[in-house]
Amino acid sequence: MNGKQKMRHVLDILADMFPDAHCELIHSNPFELTIAVLLSAQCTDETVNKVTVNLFQKYKSPADYLAVPLEELEGDIRRIGLFRSKASNIQKLCRIVIDKYDGDVPNTHEGLVELPGVGRKTANVVMSNAFGVPAIAVDTHVDRVSKRLGFAKQDDNVLEVEHKLMKLVPREEWTLTHHRLIFFGRYHCKAQNPQCAVCPLIELCKEGKKRMKVTEKTKAKLKTKLT
């Protein structure tokens, strides 16, 4: 199989495994999604959702975040990693959104990445989920799975991984592929203890096949000792 044929095979398998893959950050508008993705850096979506359930009740607009002292906002997101820098970025972001975009989150990639705390990944997530523009956001799960399946090299940075995936995945499937790769990495091909023994993509994964060989050798040694 060439690269695109291999990717097509993977996409079809992932579609069967995770037909309902979606963005798990709870939000009701582009602004809330931007805040949620900003908070999710080095933090799980589950933890973010536990914080934003109250945060989004208290803060409805950019002006609301600027109406409280920074220390109060820090307290509201204290359960999130790097909460101090994230609180500062949220207030700076809200000031720009009000002054430059009349209170609305910009609907362009260029506008989003100019906001404090918003990098390329966050911008891709917002563009694809809030504004319906196809994009592949490379988070830790997408990066790991792409490298394990051989679509990217181990030393590729996230931008290189993104560009390689964009070439292999049909544009109309970018957003859904992003979600399915995340689900695959989060619930199946985990960083620790991936489910290699029951993985339908094991033949494409050098790391997985190596892991399974080690497992078989360990079992054989154990069997020998027991007998």
Q: 221 and 118, same structural domain? A: no
Q: 210 and 119, same structural domain? A: no
Residue-level pLDDT at 215: 64
Q: 71 and 118, same structural domain? A: yes
Stretch 118-134: mean pLDDT, rounded? Answer: 95
**pLDDT at 219 > cutoff 70:** no
Stretch 128-147: mean pLDDT, rounded? Answer: 96
Residue-level pLDDT at 223: 58
Q: 112 and 218, same structural domain? A: no
Of the residues 139, 143, 147, 164, only one is catalytic, namely 139
Closest residue by Cα to residue 102 from 91, 94, 112: 94
Distance CA 223, CA 227 (A): 6
Q: 128 and 203, same structural domain? A: no
Structure tokens of 84? 């101090």
Question: What are the pLDDT digits (tens) for 150-166?
Answer: 999 999 999 999 999 99
Counting other chains too, the contacts that 43-51 makes at CB distance below 8 Å and 24 or more residues apart are 43/80, 43/81, 43/82, 47/79, 47/80, 48/80, 49/24, 49/25, 50/79, 51/76, 51/77, 51/79, 51/80
Q: How many domains does the chain have?
A: 2
Mean of the per-residue pLDDT values of the chain: 93
Residue-level pLDDT at 211: 85
Q: 66 and 176, same structural domain? A: yes
Structural domain of residue 128, as residue ranges? 1-191
pTM given for the model:
0.88
**pLDDT at 119 > cutoff 80:** yes
Residue-level pLDDT at 217: 59
Q: 186 and 173, same structural domain? A: yes
Distance CA 146, CA 154 (A): 9
121 counts as catalytic:
yes
Question: What are the pLDDT digits (tens) for 68-107?
Answer: 999 999 999 999 999 999 999 999 999 999 999 999 999 9
Of the residues 86, 121, 147, 164, only one is catalytic, namely 121
Structure tokens of 57? 């009740």
Q: 86 and 25, same structural domain? A: yes
